[in-house]
Amino acid sequence: MSAALGESEQEPRRQVGALPYRRTSGGSVMIMLITSRESRRWVIPKGWPMKGRKPFEAAAREAYEEAGLIGSIGKRPLGFYLYEKRLKSRDAVLCQVKVFPLEVRKQLKHWPEQHEREDHWFTPSDAAEAVAEAGLAAIIRAASKRDSGLLP
């Protein structure tokens, strides 16, 4: 890496996330998004890798903590996207989020971050429009295409 790029051009920090989805009785797919705690943007449940847990297990845990979701998590990622995470210090760090599909079976009545976030079920096209990150929007669009094979 050339020195001209400066100090900010470091490797992105790795995160894991879950793309929560369910099928309607008509067979179409719905995607759940949640709001971030700070900026209130629509995002997917995500967080840092967890010691002793595989990446997909950590993603499922984040979906539980942030949205009360219980379901079947895919072991193969749908893809990854980059975003800038604002830290409490007001600095920003570049993060790469590996996204795993989560087929939601139920949402619990109570969960750890229940009063810190909102959640909403979106059609895939509305979910892709609602998120700010182009890479996440692309994953949602690709995963929800009929017969894409990405969502079981």
Spatial CA neighbour of 16 closest among 67, 69, 78, 70: 78
Beta bridge partners of 130: none
The DSSP output letter for 66 is H
For residues 62 and 57, what is the distance between their CA atoms, to the nearest angstrom?
9
Q: What does pTM read for this prediction? A: 0.88
Residues with Cβ within 8 Å of 16's Cβ and at least 6 positions away in sequence, in order, are 46, 47, 48, 49, 55, 56, 58, 59, 62, 97, 98, 100
pLDDT, position 85: 85
pLDDT, position 139: 95
Beta bridge partners of 104: 71
β-pair type (92-107, 79-86): antiparallel
**pLDDT tens sequence for the chain (152 residues):** 344 444 455 789 999 999 999 988 888 899 999 999 888 899 999 999 999 999 999 999 999 999 999 999 999 999 999 998 877 787 889 999 999 999 999 999 999 999 999 999 999 999 999 999 999 999 999 988 765 555 65
The CA-CA-CA angle for residues 32, 49, 80, to 5°, reads: 55
Residue with tokens 């909102």: 118
With 0-12 CB in 10 A as exposed, 13-18 as middle and 19+ as buried, what is 49?
middle
For the beta carbon of residue 25, count every other beta carbon within 10 angstroms. 5
pLDDT, position 38: 81
pLDDT, position 10: 73
pLDDT, position 28: 87
pLDDT, position 43: 97
For residues 129 and 109, what is the distance between their CA atoms, to the nearest angstrom?
28
